[in-house]
């Protein structure tokens, strides 16, 4: 009998748990440890954040689903790993602290044979003074955050309706942020709602980003064919900003947020202050802060995690100049470098380097996107990890399954405004996610693997995907036919 423990129930953790539960039913145990009671389809938080959806439309409770599928569930936050066991018990263990309403604060431990670290990120609002829901800006990173954002947005819209002229600022709240796609989506959903309400002439919309160029999205941008013409994501994105009259401030690292202004440094070394009336700025990510102890109780966290708290896996972490980065640097199996029975798919693994070109201001401040690892790539990674664990539990002598971001593609449908008649979305694909300049020397990506188009059809696709992926996450009939 094998014991599999999965930390986290986001896209990566939930994907691994669902697949393992259908492959390993007899005599094996699967336990999910997650501080959240609900699963959240995060891509639709953008619609919650402008009042187009309610939080219950993007979430559902995990416990009933896991009970039906024979998955044990602990609503708890993992705190300490004992990958060598303890002096009293050689069994690898994880310690956790319960977060549920009835047993909040209680601690417990569970042993494992295989551990999947799918804890995702810590939302590091503290990196920028004044950032976040406990500061002066809103967030759409969780359903609860998005609900609060919708309330603040409605209040701002009411002020515009009353005759005020307001500035709406959306973007990244630190020089090292990732997930620029979410900021892009929220920017154009806010712009769309203001335009649909007939208020656009009294509202300025500003996109503030750490990207050096629009269309970078943390992947260094891409070249693709749009309506028969070869173009770049930079030109394509810039045209959308001009069309919608959205002002863009690029290469910006936010240093502080006050109740009335956003202070930021730009790549040219200049410092600025931008007054605002409503602001949604995404935080940078850190690892969740797990401690790792050896059998004697000594702290060996630095063997397992990098300084940012992300787990070191089968990647090449040697420091290299930008021009020497290779596709082969990226992990393929997501096995922990120190303990091969631990895996870290999704945001939890430590990337070997950024994907976008690193940049700094003259004073050394890093202002460049961190690599995105969310959404479709998280699901693909988790599926491969689940297959590897399944094979090892069943005694199959097969190599570990691979899902390198330098070998897989990604598809994204980014909302640019909701509405069955007037909505739109930007549909994009790229292959591979991490450029492979040896195989594709011209651009780093397959010449026919990249695509981009924006229009009403994209909104219908985005809306359909919302229901499809929630159907899949709930394990409804034929859920396995829906790709990750």
Q: How much is the pLDDT for 226?
A: 67
205, 168 Cβ separation under 8 angstroms: yes
Q: How much is the pLDDT for 224?
A: 79
Query: pLDDT by residue (tens digit) across 230-260?
Result: 789 999 999 999 999 999 999 999 999 999 9
67, 21 Cβ separation under 8 angstroms: no
Buried b (16+ CB within 10 A) or exposed e, 242-256: eebebebbbbbbbbe
Buried b (16+ CB within 10 A) or exposed e, 12-44: bbbbbbbbbbeebeeebbbbbbbbbebbbbbbb
| pLDDT higher than threshold 90 for residue 203 | yes
256, 113 Cβ separation under 8 angstroms: no
Query: pLDDT by residue (tens digit) across 270-291?
Result: 999 999 999 999 999 999 999 9
Give me the residue spans of the domains in the chain. Answer: 3-122+287-393
Domain 3-122+287-393 has CATH 3.40.50.2020: no
Query: pLDDT by residue (tens digit) across 125-152?
Result: 999 999 999 999 999 999 999 999 999 9
Query: pLDDT by residue (tens digit) across 459-469?
Result: 999 999 999 99
Can you tell me the mean pLDDT for 383-404?
Answer: 96
Q: If DSSP codes are grouped into helix, strand and coil, which group holds residue 82?
A: strand
Sign of the alpha-carbon dihedral angle for 457, 461, 467, 468: positive
Cis peptide before 432 (omega within 30 of 0): yes
Query: pLDDT by residue (tens digit) across 338-348?
Result: 999 999 999 99
| pLDDT higher than threshold 80 for residue 153 | yes
Count the residues in the chain.
484
Strands 252-257 and 261-266: antiparallel
Q: How much is the pLDDT for 465?
A: 96
- Residue 68 makes CB contacts below 8 A (sequence gap 6+) with 475
| pLDDT higher than threshold 80 for residue 414 | yes
């Amino acid at each position: 009998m094998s014991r599999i423990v999965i930390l986290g129930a986001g896209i990566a953790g939930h994907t691994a748990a669902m697949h393992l539960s259908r492959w390993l039913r007899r005599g094996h145990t699967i336990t999910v440890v997650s501080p959240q009671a609900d699963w959240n389809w995060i891509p639709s938080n953008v619609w919650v954040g402008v009042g187009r959806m309610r939080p219950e439309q993007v979430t559902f409770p995990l416990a009933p689903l896991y009970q039906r599928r024979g998955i044990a569930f602990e609503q708890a936050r993992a705190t300490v790993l004992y990958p060598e066991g303890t002096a009293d018990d050689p069994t690898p263990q994880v310690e956790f602290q319960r977060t549920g309403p009835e047993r909040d604060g209680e601690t417990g431990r569970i042993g494992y044979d295989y551990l999947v670290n799918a804890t995702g990120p810590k939302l590091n609002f503290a990196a920028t003074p004044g950032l976040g829901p406990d500061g002066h800006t809103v967030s759409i990173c969780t359903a609860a955050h998005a609900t609060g954002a919708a309330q603040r947005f409605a209040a701002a819209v009411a002020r515009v309706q009353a005759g005020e002229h307001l500035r709406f600022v959306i973007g990244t709240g630190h020089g090292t942020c990732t997930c620029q796609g979410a900021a892009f989506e929220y920017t154009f959903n806010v712009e769309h709602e203001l335009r649909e309400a007939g208020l656009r002439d009294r509202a300025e919309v500003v996109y503030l980003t750490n990207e050096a160029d629009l269309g970078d999205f943390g992947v260094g941008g891409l070249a693709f064919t749009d309506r028969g013409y070869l173009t770049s994501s930079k030109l394509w994105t810039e045209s959308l900003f001009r069309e919608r009259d959205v002002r863009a401030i690029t290469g910006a690292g936010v240093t502080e947020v006050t109740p009335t202004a956003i202070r930021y440094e730009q790549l040219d070394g200049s410092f600025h202050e931008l007054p605002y009336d409503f602001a949604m700025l995404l935080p940078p990510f850190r690892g969740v802060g797990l401690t790792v102890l050896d059998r004697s109780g000594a702290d060996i966290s630095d063997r397992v995690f990098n300084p940012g708290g992300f787990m070191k896996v089968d990647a090449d972490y040697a420091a290299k100049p930008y021009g020497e980065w290779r596709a082969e640097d990226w992990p393929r199996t997501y096995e922990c470098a120190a303990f091969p029975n631990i895996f870290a798919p999704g945001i939890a693994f430590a990337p070997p380097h950024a994907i976008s070109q690193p940049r700094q201001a003259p004073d050394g401040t890093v202002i460049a996107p961190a690599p995105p690892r969310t959404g479709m790539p998280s699901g693909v990674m988790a599926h491969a990890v689940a297959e590897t664990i399944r094979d090892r539990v069943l005694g199959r002598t097969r190599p570990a399954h691979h899902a390198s971001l330098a070998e897989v593609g990604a598809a994204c449908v980014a909302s640019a405004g909701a509405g069955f008649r007037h909505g739109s979305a930007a549909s994009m694909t790229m292959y591979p996610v991490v450029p492979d300049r040896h195989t594709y020397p011209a651009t780093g990506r397959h010449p026919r693997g990249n695509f981009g188009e924006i229009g009403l059809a994209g909104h219908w696709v985005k809306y359909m995907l919302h229901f499809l992926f929630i159907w899949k996450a709930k394990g409804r009939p034929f859920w396995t036919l829906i790709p990750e």
